[in-house]
Amino acid sequence: MTPEGQALLRQGAAELGLTVEDQLPQFEQLLDLLVEANSRVNLTALKTESDIVLKHFVDSLSCLRGGHLDGAGLRVLDIGTGAGFPTLPLAIMRPGVAFTPLDSIRKKIDFVRSAAEALNLTGVTPLVGRAETLGRDPEHRERYDRVVCRAVAALPILVELGLPLLKPGGLLVAQKGPIGEEELHAGRRAAGEVGGKVTEVDAFTLPVLGDARTLVVIEKVGPTPKKYPRREGVPNQQPLF
Cβ atoms 137, 131 nearer than 8 A = no
140 contacts ligand SAM (rule: CB under 6 A): no
Query: Pick from 69, 152, 165, 215: which binds ligand SAM (CB under 6 A)?
Result: 152
Phi-psi category of residue 120: left, alpha or beta, with phi > 0 → left and psi -120 to 50 → alpha: left
Query: Pick from 26, 58, 64, 80: which binds ligand SAM (CB under 6 A)?
Result: 80
Among 179, 185, 204, 33, smallest CA distance to 118 is for: 33
Q: Which residue lies nearer to ligand SAM by CB, 98 or 147?
A: 147
Nearest-10 crossing angle of helices 24-40, 3-15: 120
Q: Which residue lies nearer to ligand SAM by CB, 119 or 161?
A: 161
Q: Which residue lies nearer to ligand SAM by CB, 57 or 241?
A: 57
What ranges in the chain are assigned the alpha helix state H? 3-15, 24-40, 49-51, 59-61, 87-93, 106-118, 131-134, 155-162, 181-193, 234-237
Q: How far is the CB of 3 from ligand SAM (least distance, A)?
A: 26
Query: Pick from 27, 57, 85, 99: which binds ligand SAM (CB under 6 A)?
Result: 85
160 contacts ligand SAM (rule: CB under 6 A): no
Residues at the site binding ligand SAM, with contacts judged by CB under 6 A: 79-82, 85, 102-105, 108, 130-132, 150-152, 161
